[in-house]
Amino acid sequence: MRYFLSLLLLSGLVACKNNKEEVIPAAEEAAAITTNDSLIYPEETHFKSMRQITFGGDNAEAYWSFDDKQILFQSNYKEWGVECDQMFLMNFEDSFEGTMPPMISTGKGRTTCGYFLPDNKHFVYASTHLVDSLCPEVPLRQNGKYVWPVYDSFDIFIADLEGNITGQLTNQPGYDAEATVSPKGDKIVFTSTRSGDLELYTMNLDGSDVKQITNELGYDGGAFFSPDGTKLIFRSSRPKTPEEIKEYKELLAQGLVQPTNMELFICNADGSELRQLTNLGNANWSPFFHPDGKKILFSSNYEAPRGFPFNLYMIDLDGKNLSRVTHGETFDAFPVFSNDGKYLIFSSNRFNGGNRDTNLFIAEWQD
């Protein structure tokens, strides 16, 4: 359930900040470039060029095929005939202004977290359609606080690029979602409540050999493998005080989590050597490894007293050299590098005319 879209974010992600770290301005860490690209803010020196590829609705969770020729993403764009998130497919060169991409999910229930398999002909994704063909309700607030639903009707499926489901990878009671695939093409990492808490698990591509990776109380999710497949980066909300623990457990019993305080954690792919990477306060999430495997890109609102904007940041694996990558005033998140490291796709509210549409952008990356 990494669908942390702007419609929800701007509803009021407000949390207390702590331990504010110095951010190195992007202009100090990379040579300034001259660009006439109207989609790039002047301070965004890591972007050589940029193009917008969707033009309405909430579009996110965009992931590359292993050969970088195609991208799948989720959207709830009403003009495409969907009431909640479904999976869509595009070629690298495509854009969808006034046209509709092919939908490759069933169109039933709610879907999330689609990710290509190594053959470039199949993908994994989570869906609620086995329990209900209709879109589930989306609670946004509980006792005045912002919450995410954790639907126990989510299971993980394999489908081909025509939308035909060819396999079901999970059938345990509870929430199973947020699946991503190792660049090595051998393992899937996902989040599940099968233990009674939201923990990370890995499994083979056929669903076998399921292993629990994390085991501390709190929401562990949105995990991605490093380029060499040896490490995992993920977001977590780890309640500490008795009051926080009580609130977390009560919300989870209702199928809810509160995502306003999250930090990034990193571990080996087997769960060993787990450590906290950030300690910024507010919501730090949607992490993804830089192609060199030595840095992490992620989204954060830690500099935002009101809970927004969200911008992209980069940090070394030792927690040092935090720098800001984007400089928007609304929402930038879900950064994902192409496998060749040349492009970054991400979701943004930039230049959307002041509405709440979240669109996809592809930037040509430069270090």
- pLDDT by residue (tens digit) across 19-50? 334 454 433 333 333 344 799 999 999 999 99
pTM of the model: 0.91
Cα–Cα nearest to 357, from 342, 367, 347, 345: 347
For the residues 309-320, what does the mean pLDDT come to?
97
Question: How many beta carbons lie within 10 A of that of residue 49, not counting itself?
Answer: 16
Identify the pLDDT of residue 143: 74
Judged against a pLDDT cut of 90, whether residue 144 lies above it is answered with no
Cα 230–Cα 233–Cα 151 angle in degrees, nearest 5: 120
Q: Per CATH, the architecture of 6-365 is what?
A: 6 Propeller (2.120)
Identify the pLDDT of residue 139: 83
Identify the pLDDT of residue 24: 43
Question: How many beta carbons lie within 10 A of that of residue 292, not counting itself?
Answer: 9
- pLDDT by residue (tens digit) across 86-143? 999 999 999 999 999 999 999 999 999 999 999 999 999 999 999 999 999 988 777 7
- Whole-number Å distance between alpha carbons of 54 and 118: 25
The helix (H) or strand (E) run that includes residue 79 is none
What is the side-by-side order of every strand in the sheet holding 275-276? 219-225, 231-237, 263-268, 275-276
Higher pLDDT, 4 or 173: 173
Work out the pLDDT band at 174, boundaries 50, 70, 90.
very high
